[in-house]
A and B are shown apart, each in its own frame.
Chain A
């Protein structure tokens, strides 16, 4: 009896100690050092496919807009993303706890910048890289021309996302009486709309375009013109590491700088040899001064652009003309093409 109790207590104590020691939390200001020591970057994926942003193909490889940003970041840090990036499949609800516990280094997962996430959750956001208009997809046969015509109908929304709030606010502000059906899994929400459980589906217009492609006859569905809200989508990092936030911001910024200055993956070598302006020379590492301050090499931006191209190329490959979704960049273009995005100044 005595022995058995002692053995039991000992097992329990060991188990308790093991549970508490868990994953080590990242030291503040040392994210970059940790990543370099580890040899690879840990970035978010999706628990399934989030078409256009994070999707898995039949060989198990990840593709998508968010995935390309993760790969760019890994390339900036290591010079190449092959073998230096690990995509961790993460659910919507898991992403913040996973970041805080150190299971991932950065959230690049269609994540909106909100007050609550910024303050209560202790997430440090980078610059928004997409502005996502929230619109609704509906069936043409219902004859709705605006969201107001959906009064009395049922609207499907993804559960646990900012979109739930936007539709609630929009309905309250415009006095529309509608039933909302919130479903957690993306696949189930899509199926619920397509089977006719809901009259309309509220989501980013980018995502709605991919859902429409899944319908038997995409021509039967229409994305209504009203914009409920536009969500600034940003990368999320742990608070207290300014260096890592700078790196993430400037990797995204390098893509915009390249686009605005006409640098592409094809002409990058030529541009580096004969830089048209001092800013481009610095960006591509022809003249020094872009690497040291961030703790990177001077050719990090060159490597990223050589491999993934500028912002426009990343968009075209994953969401635009070269993808199945054929999405227009519209508001997500740079100011030169009438969009809201712009590069920061490289001096």
Chain B
């Protein structure tokens, strides 16, 4: 027996097994104690409440929702809202970040100063204050009856921005946008990805255009299927009674969240992008210039790709962080995943179960995001340069 213990491999194995066993024991003990305590206090536990009707409204939803709908649907709406807000605000903050990083790396003094002021200002104000600030700005716009009229088709008021839209269901619009983006991304991947590099250029181009065409057809088919019957295809906002009817409404809550995350996240991303730009050696830029590439081509085909390769792990970190910032929606009443869970807790009282769902939900969303970005990181890494 002792001889076995002397083997380092066996010893390590036993220690690890004990460690995992102790961890599992603590978790199981916790669950058992919690459920016993709840039972003795007459509290109901379990996931049966997910199929009970909620009976309370949700202020923003991409799919139709009524008071009689069950809790699982309310939670699903929360997840979709979080993804929707994240998609908008991460895209915007990336654009802001790129722009500011370019400003900060130019040799123009004024632009440089502008970029520096931007980063130092918005990075140093807590994001919750920025959320409150933008929400106050948007809700202090004029009331609907005195709304700013933009060419008779769009209106800006304290109820948000009203834009012309299509008379289709929210879900079909969402699917159409997702399939449109998927089509474009797939087509670009086929056209530029390494996996398809062995294909003949002509065949490759045909395939790429084919995929793009299928994507466009899918968008049209989804929109046609989701059309609300007996209405014109184009829906224009129009003042009726107390508010505007028709069109798309960008609510002040959504706008405040997207603006705050875009501006705050942009300041952080700008510094990451700047680091990436500075990591590209001058020699490589000069080499590109000496090939006769235009200024834009040098930026888009040499500097940016090399910068992204250097910063992708940090970038992944920041994106995951910004995604979690969407939970601030509760402060201004944007019905994100966290807010729906918080309301569900007070309405149903199933605290443990709902917090479990919340954690599992964010783990899944963030893990998916980071593993996709890590996959990209691996595929663009220079082979044979890394330690592992």
Segment at the interface with A among B136-144, B214-222, B286-294, B311-319: B136-144
Known: A164-B56, A164-B57; 14 extra A-B contacts, CB below 8 A, are: A116-B347, A120-B44, A151-B242, A152-B245, A159-B342, A160-B345, A161-B346, A168-B56, A180-B59, A183-B332, A184-B330, A184-B343, A195-B139, A238-B41
Do the beta carbons of A9 and B19 come within 8 Å of each other?
yes
- A169: chain B residues within 8 A (beta carbon): 55, 67
List residues of chain A with CB within 8 A of the CB of B56. 164-165, 168, 182
B153 within 8 A of A: no
A104-148 vs B, Cβ < 8 Å mask (1 yes, 0 no): 000000000000110111100000000000000000001000000
CA distance A165 to B348 in the complex (A): 12
Q: Is the CB of A195 within 8 A of B333?
A: no
Task: Please name the residue on chain B nearest to A120 by beta carbon.
Answer: B44
Which residues of A (147-179) have their CB < 8 Å from a CB of B? Answer: 150-154, 157, 159-161, 164-165, 167-169, 172, 179
Residue A273 is within 8 A (CB to CB) of chain B in the complex: no
Cβ of A28: which chain B residues have Cβ within 8 Å of it? 40
Residues of chain A with a CB closer than 8 A to B335's CB: 182
Shortest B342–chain A CB gap in Å is: 6
**Shortest 4 CB-CB contacts between residues of A and residues of B:** A122-B42, A160-B346, A183-B333, A153-B242
Question: Does B55 contact A96, Cβ atoms closer than 8 Å?
Answer: no
Find chain B residues with CB under 8 A from A181 CB.
59, 253, 333
What class of interface size applies to chain A in its complex with B? 35 or more
A 199-225 to B, binary, CB cutoff 8 A, 1 in contact else 0 = 100000000000000000000000000
A13 surroundings in chain B (CB, below 8 A): 22, 26
Give the residue name and chain of the B residue nearest to A117 (CB).
B349
- Inter-chain CA distance A196–B331, complex, in Å, is 18
A12 on the B face (CB < 8 A): yes
Q: Is A97 an interface residue, CB under 8 A from the partner?
A: yes
Chain A 48-62, CB-CB to B under 8 Å as 1, else 0, gives 000000000000000
In the complex, what residue of chain A is closest to B16 when comparing beta carbons?
A5
CA distance A11 to B168 in the complex (A): 57
Alpha-carbon separation in the docked complex, A119 to B22 (Å)? 36
Contact (Cβ within 8 A) A164 B15:
no
| Residues B136 and A159 in contact, CB atoms below 8 Å apart | no
Query: For the complex, would chain B's binding face be called helix, strand, loop or mixed by DSSP majority?
Result: helix
- Binary per-residue interface labels of chain B (220-241) against chain A in the complex, 1 for a CB within 8 Å, 0 otherwise: 0000000000000000000011
Given known contacts A93-B345, A159-B333, A164-B347, A25 and B41 CB-to-CB distance under 8 angstroms: yes
Contact: A197 with B41, CB < 8 Å?
Answer: no
A100, CB-defined interface residue at 8 Å: yes
Give the complex CA separation of A119 and B196 in angstroms.
61
Inter-chain CA distance A17–B22, complex, in Å, is 11
Which of chain B's residues have a CB closer than 8 A to the CB of A120? 43-44, 49, 348-350
* Interface hub of A116, A179, A197 (most chain B Cβ within 10 A): A197
Check A12/B67 contact, CB under 8 A, given A116-B348, A199-B242: no
**Nearest opposing residue in chain A for B37, CB measure:** A25
* Best-surrounded residue of B56, B335, B348 (most CB of chain A within 10 A): B56
B15 proximity list for chain A (CB < 8 A): 2, 5-6, 9
Is B159 on the interface with A (CB-CB < 8 A)?
yes
Q: Which of B44, B55, B331 contacts A188 (CB 8 A)?
A: B331
Rounded to whole Å, the gap between the CB of A152 and the closest CB of chain B is 4
The answer to whether B349 touches A159, judged by C-beta atoms less than 8 angstroms apart, is: no
When the two chains form the complex, which single residue of A168, A185, A189 contacts B55, counting CB atoms closer than 8 Å? Answer: A168
- Taking a contact as CB atoms closer than 8 A, the residue among B16, B57, B241 that contacts A182 in the complex is B57
Do A192 and B41 touch (CB < 8 A)?
Answer: no
Residue pair B243, A122 in contact (C-beta under 8 Å) = no
- The answer for the CA separation of A161 and B57 in the assembled complex, in Å, is 11
Interface residues of B in 313-338 (CB under 8 A from A): 330-333, 335
Is A240 interfacial (CB-CB < 8 Å)? yes
Proximity string of chain B (128-167) to chain A, C-beta cutoff 8 Å, 1 when within and 0 when not: 0000000010011011000000000000001100000000
Interface assignment of A92: CB less than 8 Å from any CB of chain B:
yes
In the complex the two chains form, is A119's CB within 8 Å of B44's CB? yes
With both chains docked as a complex, state the minimum distance between the C-beta of A172 and any C-beta of chain B, in angstroms: 6
Kindly state the separation between the CA atoms of A13 and B345 in the bound complex, as whole angstroms.
30
Chain B residues whose C-beta falls within 8 Å of the C-beta of A153 in the assembled complex: 241-243
Instruction: Assess the B59–A196 pair: CB atoms within 8 A.
Output: no
A142-B242 contact, Cβ under 8 Å, with A120-B349, A181-B333: yes
Chain A residues, CB < 8 A from B345: 93, 160
| Chain B: minimal CB distance from A232 (Å) | 18
Nearest CB of chain B from residue A145's CB, rounded to whole Å: 14
- Which residues of chain B come closer than 8 Å to A2, judged between CB atoms? 11, 15
B22 close to A12 (CB less than 8 A)? yes
Most buried by A among B38, B55, B339: B55
State A181–B138 Cα separation when bound (angstroms).
15
The answer on a CB contact under 8 Å between B139 and A5 is no
Residue of A nearest to B345 (CB): A93
**Can you list 18 A-B contacts with CB-CB less than 8 angstroms, sorted by A residue number?**
A9-B19, A25-B37, A100-B41, A119-B44, A120-B49, A122-B43, A142-B242, A154-B242, A154-B243, A160-B343, A168-B56, A180-B57, A181-B253, A182-B56, A184-B339, A192-B139, A192-B333, A239-B42
Contact of B343 among A25, A116, A159, A167 (CB under 8 A): A159
Whole-angstrom distance between the alpha carbons of A17 and B348 in the complex?
A: 30
Cβ–Cβ contact B348 & A196, under 8 A:
no
**Are A184 and B333 touching (Cβ within 8 A)?**
yes
User: Is B377 in contact with chain A by the CB < 8 A criterion?
Assistant: no
User: For the complex, is A276 an interface residue (Cβ under 8 Å from B)?
Assistant: no
Which residue of chain B is the closest to A151 with respect to CB atoms? B241
Q: Are B241 and A152 in contact (CB under 8 A)?
A: yes
Query: Would you give the shortest CB distance from B133 to chain A, in whole angstroms?
Result: 12
